[in-house]
Amino acid sequence: MGTTRIKVIDLSGQEQQIKTSRKHAEKLSALAKIKEEKKAEGKEEPKQEFAITVGAEKETESAESVPSAIGSVPSVIAKQSAPKVAKPSLHHRGKKYQEVASLIDRSKVYETSEALDLLAKSSPTKFDPTVEIHLNVTDKNLRGSVNFPHAVGAKKEKRYLVFTDKNIRGPQTAKPSGVLIIWATDLTIADIETGKLKPNRDFDAVIASPKYMPSLAKIAKILGPAGLMPSPKDGTITQNPQEFIAKNQKEGGVKYQTDPTAPIIHTTLGKLSTKPNQLEENLKALILKIGVNKIKKATISSTMGPGIKIDTTTISAN
């Protein structure tokens, strides 16, 4: 866009006239006559020359000739540069939640026994909720299993998908009760790739001998996010799967691992109806298994309830 100039020519003066149409010439002559009349009356207006700018650049011939409308530009710039005010969040908690949350001091780190006692008072639900523990840890790749001294929930049949040679499978009668063993082959890997078999729907755990690990690399992107990729850390890579299953089932091992997006572990300790001393013993078993030095912050809560910060530094093996 360019600059459009408007220039008034005093036709009564000595300036050279411009060529124009007849009608335009009549208009100009009429304008000149009006000016002559004003001049005779002493009301002649001063000559003005100014530029109207269209686009990003402005060109002004005289400081006195700048239109008064430009004076509003600073206010427009001020509006554009004004900081934006954040809109208030529409997310809110219910009245019952706010009532129980007021019982908790958010800035305080509670002793374990005090936190468990407060947990029962701060539950907003009418059903028996699950007690959850959330741990901020130093290592983003922590994973393993813990043997809780008290059952977390009702036991159900656990389905193990086992990749191993036939000659070391052993008799089927050797498996403990409440366990379903699915002996896997190379065809099983293809079924997992196509989605015919799905983790946590058709099987709950995967055990493999070292021989099968290169083959399982094909489905690592499927088993990994589900937390079922065999690993030497949790003992699921072994030459004796029967022994691992029997030990794990007998001790009631519960798996834990850090969240894929952050170094946080989420797991459960039991139901709120569980005795406080039993919940405390389960918590102690988990903390000692992970390592007190690896835990930066711990928060305990019930389902749909507010979080309570707890002190894990006082937990010891004694």
The mean pLDDT of the chain is 75
Closest CA to 119 of 132, 108, 107: 132
- Distance, in Å, from the CA atom of 168 to the CA atom of 48, rounded to the nearest integer, reads 105
What separation in angstroms does the CA of 228 have from each of 164, 186, 205, 217, 224?
A: 16, 17, 6, 12, 6
**More confident site: 33 or 280:** 280
- Distance, in Å, from the CA atom of 50 to the CA atom of 64, rounded to the nearest integer, reads 9
3 state DSSP class of 221: helix
- Distance, in Å, from the CA atom of 230 to the CA atom of 165, rounded to the nearest integer, reads 16
- pLDDT tens track for 219-246: 999 998 888 999 888 889 998 888 888 8
Question: What pLDDT is stored for residue 221 in this prediction?
Answer: 92
Residues of the chain with CATH 3.40.50.790: 152-251
- pLDDT tens track for 88-130: 444 456 788 887 788 888 888 888 888 888 888 888 888 888 8
Q: Residue length, the chain?
A: 318
Question: What pLDDT is stored for residue 317 in this prediction?
Answer: 61
Residue 171's pLDDT band (cuts 50, 70, 90): very low
- Distance, in Å, from the CA atom of 115 to the CA atom of 98, rounded to the nearest integer, reads 18
Residues of the chain with CATH 3.30.190.20: 96-150+256-318
DSSP for 63-95 reads GGGS-GGGGGHHHHHHHHHSPPPPPPP-----H
User: Please, what CATH class does the domain formed by 152-251 belong to?
Assistant: alpha beta
- Architecture per CATH, domain 96-150+256-318, reads as 2-Layer Sandwich (3.30)
Which two three-digit tokens encode residue 235?
Answer: 């003992």
Question: What pLDDT is stored for residue 69 in this prediction?
Answer: 44
- pLDDT tens track for 46-72: 555 444 444 444 444 444 444 444 444
Residues 6+ apart with CB under 8 A from 300: 115, 116, 119, 131, 132, 133, 134, 269, 283, 307, 308, 310
Question: What pLDDT is stored for residue 55 in this prediction?
Answer: 44
